[in-house]
Amino acid sequence: MIYNYNPSPTELALLWLIRQHESSQDYTAANPLSSATGGYQDIKSTWMMLCNLAGYSISQYPTAESAPPAVQDTCNLILLRLYGANSSASWQASGPYPKYSEVQGMLRAAGVVNP
């Protein structure tokens, strides 16, 4: 069963910020110094875990960069929900990223209802 991709506006904004910082929105990015690939620069072991949790086949998408944007977004939404944006299991090394409450405040200031 494939995970249902249904991010809140706050999660969408955080995913965009992370993707922008990690890869400049390049879903095919590959780090020459590590196994990190894709828009969110997932390392191989994290990618394998996320694919499994999301219901995708690692044989179909062996690395993040091999997966289409929708699959990368779905897998990284799971990562965001499990660990947050600033956990050592997620993007802490390249952060810090704004907290949920900070992003919600920005979205409310921009007129977004129920961020």
- Locate the domains of the chain by residue range: 9-109
Q: Is the pTM of this model over 0.85?
A: yes
Question: Going residue by residue through the chain (115 aa), what tens digit of pLDDT does each one get?
Answer: 688 899 999 999 999 999 999 999 999 999 999 999 999 999 999 999 999 999 999 999 999 999 999 999 999 999 999 999 999 999 999 999 999 999 999 999 999 988 8
In single-letter form, the type of residue at position 34 comes to S
Arch. (CATH architecture) of 9-109: Orthogonal Bundle (1.10)
List all residues 6 or more positions away from 46 whose beta carbon is below 8 Å from its beta carbon.
79, 89
Q: Give the integer Cα–Cα distance in Å for 17 and 85.
A: 10
Tokens of 99: 């907290």
Q: Give the integer Cα–Cα distance in Å for 29 and 10.
A: 24
